[in-house]
Chain A
Amino acid sequence: MTSPKTMFEKVWDRHVVVPETADTPAVLFIDLHLTHEVTSPQAFQLLRERGLKVRRPDLTLATMDHSTPTRTSQVFGGEPITIASAANQVRQLEKNCAEFGIELLGLQDQRRGIVHIIGPELGLTQPGKTIVCGDSHTSTHGAFGALAFGIGSTEVGHVLATQCLLQRRPKTLAIEIANRLAPGVTAKDLILAIIGKIGVAGGTGHVIEYRGAAIRAMDMEARMTVCNMSIEAGARAGMIAPDETTFGYLSGKPRAPQGAAWDAALADWRALPTDAGARFDMNVDIDAATLEPMITYGTNPGMVVPISAAIPSRAGDPVFDKALAYMGLTAGEPIKGQPVNVVFLGSCTNGRISDLRAAAEVLRGHKVAKGVHLLIVPGSQQVRREAEQEGLDRIFIDAGADWRESGCSMCLGMNGDTVPKGEYSVSTSNRNFEGRQGVGARTLLASPLTAAASAIRGRVTDPRDVLEG
């Protein structure tokens, strides 16, 4: 009898083309490569310099999301993209995909969206696959039991040229999440609490498997939110075992297996979860029932507190003090009630339809507080259409929100959507680094519920106060 294996080991072992040795890393086969305009130009250039073709164009899908505008006038209205270099990147990707024979869901394609939103939507993200993209939030796809991780542009070139990567096998970390999240507490709050507990380097060198009752109770979109921020704990990837929830989500998706192929895939996917008795290199336990809505106060996602808590202090830590100085916040003060200028709802972390529904539930019948800019950016054009079919856009617009076309938008200040210098942004995105949302921007990461509640009150607000009120 073979020894029990973790899900990660099963997926890894299936993709080893050449095993690793002391002298050489493993050659790992990649089932799905997603690419976008920002991290691919230099990779295509590498192919050109070496006179190489794309080995498996059928296994790469391109879209544009990072540097693209979200204003309808610039996406569909024929107005030029404001940032000339971004416009050039968009044209460059069109040219590269045409030249190398890669399918591109371009700026006006109705299937376009943030790369980590559209993979699952199309049904391309599947259990047991190896999935890479030149983007660290590729970990999102691990929610399906795929091994999915971010790579650099040189590696994008490697995948284009050979469909393989050279990799050393990472270690494994099991995070067991017991019990259920309380009402008003979301997957975002859970992953922020995990990062707060293990730290922003707590997962370095490891692939995380999220397990336990809280995970099993989550829908796929919540699971994607959890896996998305694995990289914020430093991990290579995050994975969740596929189950009936996973299969239900994928069933009927345009590029999921159909008919007999579906039945064969199901049998295969059911064998993926970690075997009883398999050992992980490290284990962490969390009780979901004890968690509150979480919010960051500093300049990395590990600087996070329950929303009812005070901003902590760390005596004799100049880096901590520098972070608080950047944020303009004071140790010992409550984070709740902190005035807010901007609220951003969107990103590959929280830009899916369930996130917009959750925010709409809070916003329905309310107005955004005076002086607050609420920017709502769906994660994909499909999410946008679904929201409009359900009338969520009316709730948002009536509340005074700015409703846009899909893209990465204000998650990273490179497409024209930025937070003004010194202003406070409650953001559903994934990074509160200095300047991430714009030069001098002060980001507080939180859930869509907390973001919506804070938009109404104009201050950091516990969503349970609004939902119950």
Chain B
Amino acid sequence: MTPIKKIHSRTVVMPSSNIDTDQIIPGRFLTTTTKQGLGKQLFADWRYDASGQPKPDFVLNQPAAQGCEVLVAGRNIGCGSSREHAPWALLDYGFRAVVSTEIADIFRSNSLKNGLLPVIVDETTHQWLLANPGAQVTVDLESCTLALPTGVAVRFPIDAFSRYCLMNGVDELGYLQSQESAIAAYERARA
């Protein structure tokens, strides 16, 4: 994985609360056996009409959304299915961070494992972001802050271990494998 230090980008805003992973990537696209190429199916049922044409009123189809790496969503994004295809699709499309007041547990965990940064902010900051789509923000993983163009910077919580992995571009499996002797001892004690 590519190390993440800072993300400097305009935002795309999707204010709906409870955006579930079925919306992020509908079930019919889950018959794939790879992680790649899901970006074109991201939000497919909100993004395309029945004939596969982009719906002009959907935010990702508007010119201002092009090149944005930060998605600001209503509270509780990522609820529902555990499909890791959701962060894969967001990353493949080009997003690198998701911001909300609440992020569902499994989606947050899956995002951290793929280099999609879950950023949880307070209600006031969230309201400001929802009201200012396209704002230029800086997500800084070093200081764990989200900086708004107003000059305000707010801290966001992130698990120390996940932060270490993201900043160094390493994944968790290597660490787990390094625990082999403890795992073997645990198995012996229980046998």
Q: Which residues of A contact B (CB under 8 A)?
A: 17-18, 22-25, 27, 29, 38-39, 41-42, 45-46, 50, 55, 66-67, 83, 85-86, 88-89, 92, 134-136, 150-155, 157-158, 161-166, 168, 200-201, 204-205, 231-232, 234, 236, 300, 302, 318-319, 322, 412-414, 421, 431, 433-436, 439
Of the residues B15, B81, B82, B176, contact of A162 by C-beta under 8 Å = B176
- Which residue of B27, B32, B109 has the most chain A CB atoms within 10 A of its CB atom? B27
A249 CB to closest chain B CB, in angstroms?
25
Evaluate whether A158 and B172 lie within 8 angstroms (CB atoms) in the complex, with A42-B84, A201-B76 already known. yes
Q: Is A201 within 8 A of B31, CB to CB?
A: no
Chain A residue at minimal CB-CB distance from B114: A154
B125 at the interface (CB under 8 A from A): no
Evaluate whether A436 and B27 lie within 8 angstroms (CB atoms) in the complex, with A17-B183, A134-B82, A166-B175 already known. yes
Q: Is B113 within 8 A of A42, CB to CB?
A: no
Q: Is B18 within 8 A of A201, CB to CB?
A: yes
Give the segment of B56-64, B98-106, B132-140 that binds chain A. B98-106
Chain B residue at minimal CB-CB distance from A46: B173
B53 at the interface (CB under 8 A from A): no
Q: Is B30 within 8 A of A22, CB to CB?
A: no
B55 CB to closest chain A CB, in angstroms?
13
Known: A23-B161, A29-B183, A136-B106. 8 other contacts (CB 8 A): A67-B30, A89-B33, A151-B109, A152-B113, A158-B173, A165-B176, A319-B18, A439-B45
- Which residue of B32, B33, B175, B177 has the most chain A CB atoms within 10 A of its CB atom? B33
Contacts of A164 in B (CB 8 A): 176, 179, 183
Q: Is A24 within 8 A of B161, CB to CB?
A: yes
Evaluate whether A435 and B182 lie within 8 angstroms (CB atoms) in the complex, with A88-B31, A166-B175 already known. no
A305 to B33: give the CA distance in the assembly, Å: 39
B79 at the interface (CB under 8 A from A): yes
Q: Is B106 within 8 A of A41, CB to CB?
A: no
Chain B residue at minimal CB-CB distance from A138: B82
Q: Is A18 within 8 A of B102, CB to CB?
A: no
Q: Is B18 within 8 A of A42, CB to CB?
A: no
Q: Is A17 within 8 A of B182, CB to CB?
A: yes
Evaluate whether A86 and B173 lie within 8 angstroms (CB atoms) in the complex, with A29-B183, A151-B106, A152-B113 already known. no
Evaluate whether A204 and B102 lie within 8 angstroms (CB atoms) in the complex, with A18-B179, A23-B160, A434-B45 already known. yes
- Which residue of B84, B110, B182 has the most chain A CB atoms within 10 A of its CB atom? B84
Q: Is A431 within 8 A of B80, CB to CB?
A: yes
Q: Is A27 within 8 A of B22, CB to CB?
A: no
A92 to B34: give the CA distance in the assembly, Å: 11
Contacts of B15 in A (CB 8 A): 318-319
Contacts of A18 in B (CB 8 A): 179, 182
B84 CB to closest chain A CB, in angstroms?
4
Evaluate whether A158 and B176 lie within 8 angstroms (CB atoms) in the complex, with A17-B183, A236-B105 already known. yes
B5 at the interface (CB under 8 A from A): no
Instruction: List 24 interface pairs A-B (beta carbons < 8 Å), by A numbering.
Output: A22-B160, A23-B161, A24-B161, A27-B176, A27-B179, A29-B183, A39-B82, A66-B30, A67-B31, A86-B31, A136-B81, A150-B82, A152-B113, A154-B110, A154-B171, A162-B177, A201-B79, A201-B104, A204-B76, A204-B102, A319-B16, A413-B26, A431-B22, A439-B45
